[in-house]
Amino acid sequence: MSPLTRVAAVGLVLAAAGCATRHRACAPPELTRESGLVQPGPADESAVVETELLRSLVDRTRAANSAPDPAAKPGKFLALSGGGMYGAYSVGVLKGWTDTGTRPTFDVVTGVSTGALVASYAFLGTAYDEPMTRLYTTVSDKDIYRRRPRVAVLFSDSAASSEPLKKLIAAQVDDALLAEVARAHAAGRRLYVGTTNLDARRLVVWDMGAIASSGRPDAADLYRTVLLASASVPGFFPPVPVEVEVNGRRFTELHVDGGATTGVFLRASTLHLDREALRAGRQPLAGSDAYVVIAGKLYADPACTDQRAVRIAAGSLESVVASQTRGELYRIYSLCLLGGMRYHLAAVPENFDAGGDAMSFDPAAMRRLYAAGYEAAAGGRAWRDTPPGAEPHEQTRPRTGTQFLAPGAR
């Protein structure tokens, strides 16, 4: 269960209590993991056609952009998604990448939720691999949250206290780290973290380098507050208050997990594009590389859903969150096509079993995730160059009935 599915779970605990489970025959996950159930009869070529159409578009775009723009300034950009303990996979990818000797210094890094906690380390470079790895292979639940008694949840703003996470962030984000972020910002590099303004129901993007170098007495507190807010799963963790001033008047905003509005982000506004170059028809980012690391799977694991309100709501919300992330990945891919950038996507393999949900923070499961990410990156297998939905086995094919064949199964 992904972190945001707990929003539905917490709200429906009482409504679901005492409801009888309706048993039914569910297709086993190995038959439904991919959208490969096909109807008996002639082969359906629609999936292949859609894939070939996309690749044709890519080839035409690359051909049109083959002439180099002498004014282009190629960059290296990294976007890190949310995903709770699955952030260990992202960390493994980064460390495995380091050990190949090919990991670049990133010009822009963005992070959401667990990706926000990793982002500062990724931004500062390989010198911070050790604390980043230690954080995502040794922590446990007690280092992240304290569950409230079930009765207390009814009168609280969350199912758990985030005080342990707040202390952990304070210990990790010290004055030395802030000074390094400020220096990188002064050199023109950028670090962004996303939160969700609960009142506005919108994504808020924070320029962490600007905060670190602001010279404000509360800079360190604000930096840590943003990280806590970005990782505060709504309903599971309490919202984080942020004091703001508008036209001389002070207000208090409530911020929660950036994953409530987007699972990952890399926007044109974060890349500081040359508007005059764009208006002149040039591609100022031609030759750049955009890397996206998803702390989780591109498609939620199939599971037999109990016919109880809490399970139905949780399963539906998990589908929404996964779909939202895939949509954002396609948005980033479109940005790459328009900007002449190369697209690189890494995610937990669909057949990988971590042995725990995103909020379990089991050290053994996190070490397995870390190892999977490390081995994929070190072995050159981590990256794909297409967005989710581009491959034939990922296509949704029209159904013409209720009798199917499962490819590869007997």
Say if residues 382 and 7 touch (Cβ distance below 8 Å): no
Q: What are the catalytic residues? A: 113, 257
CA 233/CA 237 separation, integer angstroms: 5
Phi, psi angles (nearest 5°) of residue 178: -60, -40
Handedness of CA 325, 326, 329, 330 (dihedral sign): negative
Give a yes or no: residue 205 inside a domain. yes
Task: Name residues of the chain where pLDDT drops below 70.
Answer: 1-23, 32-51, 61-72, 278, 281, 407-410
Per DSSP, the chain holds a count of helices (H) and strands (E) of 16, 10
Measured CA distances, 99 to 48, 93, 102, 125, 291 (Å): 37, 10, 8, 13, 17
Give a yes or no: residue 244 inside a domain. yes
- Determine the pLDDT at residue 9: 46
Give a yes or no: residue 54 inside a domain. no
The whole domain housing 317 covers: 73-379
Give a yes or no: residue 402 inside a domain. no
- Determine the pLDDT at residue 19: 44
Tokens of 159: 């199912």
Helix/strand/coil for 217: coil
- Determine the pLDDT at residue 378: 97
Classify residue 85 by its DSSP letter.
G
- Determine the pLDDT at residue 313: 78
CA 230/CA 221 separation, integer angstroms: 14
Give a yes or no: residue 77 inside a domain. yes
Give a yes or no: residue 387 inside a domain. no
Give a yes or no: residue 105 inside a domain. yes
Say if residues 3 and 84 touch (Cβ distance below 8 Å): yes
Give the pairing type, strands 146-147 and 160-161.
antiparallel
- Determine the pLDDT at residue 57: 73
For position 314, which CATH number holds?
3.40.1090.10
Residues 232-266: tens digit of each pLDDT: 999 999 999 999 999 999 999 999 999 999 999 99
- Determine the pLDDT at residue 10: 45
Q: Which residues contact 155 (CB under 8 A, 6 or more apart)?
A: none
Position 19, amino acid: C
Q: Which residues contact 294 (CB under 8 A, 6 or more apart)?
A: 81, 83, 90, 263, 264, 325, 329, 345, 346, 347, 348
Give a yes or no: residue 148 inside a domain. yes
Residues 79-98: tens digit of each pLDDT: 999 999 999 999 999 999 99
CA 320/CA 49 separation, integer angstroms: 26
Q: How many domains does the chain have?
A: 1
- Determine the pLDDT at residue 11: 47
